[in-house]
Structure 1
Amino acid sequence: MAVRGPKHTRTDERRQQRTPTGLNFFLNKRVTIVTMDSKRIEGILYFISTYDFMIALLDKEGTRTGTYMTIFKHAVKHVRCEDPN
């Protein structure tokens, strides 16, 4: 059986070069998340996976509290970016 190299190497290179879209565009930026029950959560988008994402929570002054919250994507109504740049 022949040994093969890593698969899709060129695809991975192209993926790293393109502009992020969707939630990936908001990564490491301040966001406001509104859940399906209309609760508002503010934080910095920290990590995104297939079914959920994690935010670093902020206090009323806008500084990080050191607490992280995992939110399942099916529980989100919409995400608004507070810091577009």
Structure 2
Amino acid sequence: MCSSPKTNLAAATPKVPFRSFMASMTLAQRQHFAQVANRADDRRQIREDRLKGQHNMPEAKPVNVTGHNNNSFINKLIHFCQQHLVV
């Protein structure tokens, strides 16, 4: 009977029962593992929030060569001229 279904030997259940890697750890090791995993999760969450925030940020105002906002530079220049120059 060539067309009869055959068993798949690759899908056979393993002889050794499945054990979690956490089962072989001591309580202190599990606590340390949890702390490290929680810190990594916090960093990932912060990074994701930062990336989400970049998409929603408004356009930045133009900046001059010195790195200052153009409007504040001009306002300071006008204020300086009014105080120190006689027109």
TM-score norm. by structure 1 comes to 0.26
Highest RCO, 1 vs 2 (Cα 8 Å, sep ≥ 6): 1
Which has a greater percent of helix? Answer: 2
Q: Which of the pair has more CA radius of gyration?
A: 2
Question: Between Structure 1 and Structure 2, which shows a larger proportion of strand residues?
Answer: 1
After TM superposition, the score normalised by the length of structure 2 is 0.25
